[in-house]
Structure 1
Amino acid sequence: MKAFVLRSFGSPDALELTDLDTPVPGDTEVLVRVRATSVQPYDWHHMRGEPRVARLMGGGVGLRRPSIPVLGADIAGEVEAVGKDVTEFRPGDEVFAMSMRGGFAEYATVQESKLAAKPESLSFEEAAAIPMAAITALMAVRDQGQVQPGQQVLVNGASGGVGTFAVQLAKAFGAEVTGVCGPRNTGLVRSIGADHVIDYTKEDFTRQKRRYDVVLDIAGNHPGRAYRRVLARKGTCVVVGGRASRWLEPAGHAFATIAMGAFVSQRMRLTEVGSCKESKQNLITLSELAEEGKVIPVIDRSFPFEQIPAAVRYQEEGHSRGKVVVTI
């Protein structure tokens, strides 16, 4: 099979298109013929081995060489074969998963416990746009933010991959949603359900008088104390992401904001999708919402398989609206 392999840390040019043996599924695994995948910060953080502090963390990007040779956290495709203990899926089934690896290849093995049926109303490209970004948004909105009907929710970074899902999920949970984005994306954010849209080039939302029950910090462009100014007295700030740097960020921003929670009345929480143990059930929830038309993937651009390095480079620039996907 064809796959893009990462043998050393570096730029997108470090992704090498090569031939690998098609993997054989284990007893509880499913072999998926990958039809589409997506590109996200998770991929290029592992590609570059940054922030460097992540190399020292257990289960991280790897110390001297990449821990994941074939990147691609999201998978949508067709079941090719199943292990002897697999009972839920059979060859030909259309599926999707947050596999955390393996999507930059023609075939990938996925544990049955992480695999879900693809939403029938969505294409493979649309389904591949969902897993990591939408699960991250779901955890932030439902689990850490505990968003309730009638609450005021602000999404800072509303036009990106996670942000577009967060806006839609907060609306689906009955909140009044304010989205913060750049000037070229205000129409998009409004079109996916935001009740109010703030252009950050014209207004600093951390200086306004309005208060929010939940602030979802995806952009990471303000310190935690700034978010406190716009939070209700018992409000919640959920750190989802932040600006990247070579050595520490976005980890430093996240840890500093969370540490503040020990000294203030507001709740400071962190969403870490890598710790998610319920990815299958979360995918089922998201699939149901997609079938109901409440969560629709926003796709900025689609690349062919041979141009995965270009897709990673484009996503790494940080200006994509919604998701960047790849067809295989």
Structure 2
Amino acid sequence: MTTTFKQSVHVALSNPGESGALEIRDATLSGDLKPNFVQISTRALSINPVDYKMITGELNFNKKPLPRGFGSDVAGVVEAIGSDVTRLKVGDEVYSDAIGFTPFGEVFRVPESKVSLKPQSLSFSEAAAIPLAGLTALQALRDKGSMKSGAKVVIFGGSGGVGSFAIQIAKALGASEVVTTSTNEALCKQLGADRVINYRNETASEVLQSSHYDLVFDTVGGYNHYEQGVKLLKSSGTYVTIVGDGVSLPKLIPRLLWRKFKSNFTSPGYQIFLTDSNSSDLDVLTQLVNEGKLKASIDSTFQFTDEGVREMFKKQMSGRTKGKNVMEVKK
């Protein structure tokens, strides 16, 4: 059986850095559903910096020929399951970080291992804002940063998608102090930050006590943040980044390898990583939502049209998003 649906696709790289390379086209799902996959009817979508960086060519992980689908965060309803699926059933309301499975459309297929029941208290739009950014924040603090209760934490970029979740998750994990950098003090304080440093006026290393913090989580990137961060950390602390220095991969890789090597012999530690999309950690995020410790901060909502897709990417690429942008897919 073949299903025809609307999918947002990446058409060309003729205008790198511009959202005009995107449009909505008809696509098809055909063939049997793989045994461990589920088919999901989409209700809401969200994107992250990795989405537009792959489209502009800044990151080039996707080697499939153009036009091709893209996307990461999604929330919707299970409409079919494979023969080996055990946790989910048709009709379940779910959410997923489905990066790599082209979820930016009306329907898509993804392994069950990357899907979790969405928090019942959240709308589809709120749920779609969480997966990739929430998973990234959780894994950065809990796993890469080995954060313990009572830790003192600095988060560069607290009002962005990942940063807004990192503030909340740090508090949920028992941080005694969370400092963040942002121009949006009200939002960061609302999310739980103890102190907000306006990076336009001063740097964290200028106003904070050196060698005082257990963990620095950088969601912004740039060598200047690395320089600031290592000054703030205790000798036993860890600097975690998801961005690096914000330069091209050929320049970035030698720097990262050197810092990682050096951290094996001197302090503080250094960690850079890619998010692991999995249902177990999504369940952790769901529990935090249910306990009232985690919520999605939504900047703007768009509709699933050609114009809406381009406007959403334009907003995301502006660097002015506070929290997450989401897109509603009408049914």
Give TM-score, length-normalised by structure 2.
0.88
Is residue 20 from structure 1 mapped to residue 27 from structure 2 by the alignment?
A: yes
Which amino acid counterpart does residue 47 of structure 1 have in structure 2?
I
Query: Which residue matches 1:50?
Result: 58
Aligned equivalent of 2:96: 97
1:88 matched to 2:87? The reply is yes
Following superposition, the deviation at residue 239 of structure 1 comes to: 1.0
In the TM superposition, residue 37 of structure 1 has moved relative to its aligned partner by 0.9
1:325 is matched with 326
Cα displacement string for residues 94-128 of structure 1 (whole angstroms, at most 9, x for unaligned residues): 01111103221000101112111111011101110
Q: Is the 8 A contact 1:224 1:260 kept in 2?
A: no
- The structural deviation recorded for 1:159 is 0.7
Hey, what does 2:239 align to over in structure 1? Answer: 237
State yes or no: 1:32 paired with 2:32: no
Q: Among the aligned pairs, what percent are the same residue?
A: 34
Q: What SS does structure 2 have at the residue aligned with 1:141?
A: helix
Q: Could you tell me how far 1:257 is from its partner in structure 2?
A: 4.3
Residue 138 of structure 1 and its aligned partner are, at CA, apart by 0.5
Secondary structure at the counterpart of residue 4 of structure 1: strand
Question: Which residue pairs with 1:107 in the alignment?
Answer: 107
- The residue number in structure 2 matching 1:122 is 122
Shift in CA distance, 252/172, structure 1 to aligned 2, threshold 3 Å:
farther
For the structure 1 residues 310 and 23, does the alpha-carbon distance in structure 2 shift closer, same or farther, using more than 3 Å as the test? farther
Query: Structure 2: how far apart are the matches of 1:249 and 1:326?
Result: 35
Q: 1:192 to 1:38 in 2, by over 3 A?
A: same
Structure 1 residue 245: Cα displacement: 5.1
Cα deviation digits, residues 199-232 of structure 1 (max 9, x gap): 1122211233242110001112325343221101
Aligned: 1:261 with 2:263? yes
Q: CA deviation at 1:187?
A: 0.7
Matches within 5 A, 1:275-290: 276=276, 279-290=278-289
Seen in structure 2, the aligned counterparts of structure 1 residues 270 and 321 have a Cα distance that, compared at 3 Å, is: same
TM-score by length of 1: 0.89
Q: CA deviation at 1:288?
A: 0.5
Structure 2 unaligned blocks of 5 or more: none
Gap runs ≥5 in structure 1 = none
State the match for 1:309 in structure 2. Answer: 310
Rounded to whole Å, the distance in 2 between the matches of 1:166 and 1:290 is: 14
Note the 1:160-239 alignment, pairs <5 A: 160-183=160-183, 185-207=184-206, 208-210=208-210, 211-221=212-222, 222-239=224-241
- Aligned length, in residue pairs: 315
User: Could you tell me which amino acid in structure 2 is paired with residue 117 of structure 1?
Assistant: L
1:256 and 1:65 map into 2 onto residues whose CA distance is 35
